[in-house]
C-alpha cells in the first residue's frame, strides 16, 4: 500500500531500538508504595474536579437542596414543632446539615458507577496503579461538594434568622465534622457503586438506606415526641449522634461525647467498607 503518511511518521526513527525489554523487566516493582498511592489518588481527584468544573449541573443537588430544604422545613414545621420558626432553627439547621451531607455522599456511589462504565476505566485497570486510587480520588474531590452543602445550609439558616450560639468556631467545627462524616459514609455508597449493576440501581439501593437513616433520627424532631420503640432505633442511629454533635458545636460551641461516637462510627465504616470496595472493584475487572 503506497499510503501517504504525511503527519504520522513511524513511531521513532530518531531513536532506533530505544526499548530494552530486559532493562524494563529489571525496573519493574512488585507493588505500589504508599507515596505512589497517595499521588495517584490526588491525580484521580484532579480528574474528578476537572469533570465537576466542566459539568456544573453536578452542583445542582448540593446548592439547591440546602437552600430549598432549609426554608421549606423551617416554615412548614417550625410552628408545629417549636412554636415558631425562629426557635425551631437551632434544632433544624444541624439536622439539615446532616441530611444534605448524607444525600450528597449517595451521589458519590451513583457517579462512580456511571464512571466505571466508561472506556477510560479499562485503561485505569491496565495501568500499574493502586486499585484504591480510582475510588478514593473522586471521594477526595467530593469534599468540595460536602463543603458547599454544609456551608450553604448554615448561610441559608442565618438568612432566615438562625443565630448559632457556638459562634464561628462552633459552626466551623460542625462543618468539619459533617464533612468527615459524609466522606466516611460515602464509602458505603462507593461499595454499593462497585457491586450494583447500573447507576440507577445504585440510586435505588442507596435511597433504601438513606431515608430510614435521615428521617428515623433526631434530625427534624425532638426524640421525646416519638413512640418508645422508635426512640430505641433513633438513639442507636449514627445520624442521630452526628446531629447531636453538630448541634452541640454549632449551638453551644462545645465538643460532646456524641462527637466521639460519631468519629468512632465513621472510622468503623471506613475500616469495613474501604477494603470491601477495593476488593469488589478489583474483582469486577
The residues of the shown chain that bind other proteins, judged by CB under 8 A, are 1, 3-5, 7-13, 15-22, 24-25, 27-32, 36, 39-40, 43, 46-47, 50-51, 54-55, 118-129, 133, 285
**Nearer to other proteins by C-beta: 51 or 252?**
51
Smallest gap from Cβ 49 to other proteins, in A, equals: 11
How far apart are alpha carbons 231 and 221 in whole angstroms?
A: 11
Describe the chain by its helix, strand, coil percentages, rounded to 5: 80, 0, 20
* Shortest distance, position 274 Cβ to other proteins, whole Å: 20
Q: How far is the CB of 8 from other proteins (least distance, A)?
A: 4
Q: Which residue's CB is nearer to other proteins, number 44 or number 274?
A: 44
Based on CB atoms, which residue is closest to other proteins, 76 or 127? 127
Residue in 255, 246, 253, 220 with CA at minimum distance from that of residue 234 = 220
Task: State the Cα angle at 43 between 188 and 28, rounded to 5°.
Answer: 100
Give dist(CA 37, CA 43) in Å, integer: 10
Instruction: Supply angle C-alpha 238, 38, 146, rounded to 5.
Output: 40
We find the least distance from the C-beta atom of residue 37 to other proteins, in angstroms, to be 11
| Closest distance to other proteins from the beta carbon of 205 (Å) | 25
**C-beta closer to other proteins: residue 90 or 138:** 138
Count CA within 13 A, CB hemisphere, residue 84. Answer: 5
The least distance separating other proteins from the CB of residue 202, rounded to whole angstroms, comes to: 20
How far is Cα 141 from Cα 45, in angstroms, rounded to an integer? 5
Q: Give me 61's grid cell.
A: 443537588
Distance between CA atoms of residues 192 and 208, nearest Å: 12
165 HSE (CA, 13 A, CB side): 10
Comparing CB distances to other proteins, the nearer of 122 and 212 is 122
Report the C-alpha gap between 78 and 86 in whole angstroms.
Answer: 7
Q: Which is nearer to other proteins, 21 or 228 (CB)?
A: 21
Nearest approach in angstroms of CB 145 to other proteins is 17
CA distance 208 to 223: 22
Q: Which is nearer to other proteins, 111 or 246 (CB)?
A: 111
Amino acid at each position: 500500500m503506497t499510503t501517504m503518511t504525511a503527519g504520522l511518521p513511524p513511531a521513532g526513527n530518531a531513536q532506533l531500538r530505544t526499548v530494552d525489554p530486559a532493562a524494563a523487566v529489571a525496573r519493574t516493582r512488585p507493588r505500589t508504595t504508599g507515596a505512589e498511592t497517595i499521588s495517584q489518588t490526588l491525580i484521580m481527584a484532579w480528574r474528578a474536579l476537572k469533570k465537576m468544573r466542566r459539568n456544573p449541573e453536578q452542583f445542582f443537588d448540593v446548592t439547591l437542596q440546602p437552600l430549598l430544604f432549609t426554608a421549606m422545613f423551617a416554615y412548614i414545621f417550625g410552628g408545629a414543632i417549636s412554636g415558631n420558626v425562629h426557635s425551631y432553627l437551632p434544632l433544624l439547621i444541624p439536622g439539615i446539615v446532616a441530611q444534605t451531607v448524607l444525600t450528597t455522599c449517595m451521589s458519590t456511589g451513583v457517579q462512580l458507577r456511571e464512571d466505571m462504565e466508561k472506556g477510560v476505566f479499562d485503561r485505569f485497570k491496565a495501568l500499574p496503579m493502586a486499585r484504591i486510587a480510582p475510588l478514593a480520588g473522586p471521594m477526595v474531590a467530593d469534599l468540595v461538594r460536602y463543603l458547599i452543602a454544609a456551608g450553604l445550609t448554615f448561610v441559608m439558616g442565618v438568612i432566615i434568622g438562625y443565630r448559632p450560639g457556638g459562634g464561628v468556631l462552633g459552626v466551623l467545627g460542625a462543618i468539619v465534622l459533617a464533612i468527615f462524616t459524609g466522606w466516611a459514609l460515602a464509602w458505603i455508597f462507593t461499595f454499593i457503586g462497585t457491586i450494583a449493576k447500573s447507576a440507577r440501581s445504585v440510586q435505588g439501593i442507596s435511597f433504601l438506606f438513606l431515608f430510614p437513616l435521615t428521617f428515623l433520627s433526631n434530625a427534624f424532631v425532638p426524640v421525646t415526641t416519638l413512640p418508645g420503640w422508635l426512640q430505641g432505633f433513633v438513639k442507636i442511629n449514627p445520624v442521630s449522634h452526628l446531629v447531636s454533635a453538630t448541634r452541640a458545636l454549632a449551638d453551644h460551641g462545645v465538643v460532646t461525647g456524641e462527637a466521639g461516637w460519631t468519629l468512632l462510627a465513621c472510622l468503623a465504616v471506613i475500616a469495613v467498607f474501604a477494603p470491601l470496595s477495593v476488593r469488589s472493584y478489583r474483582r469486577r475487572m
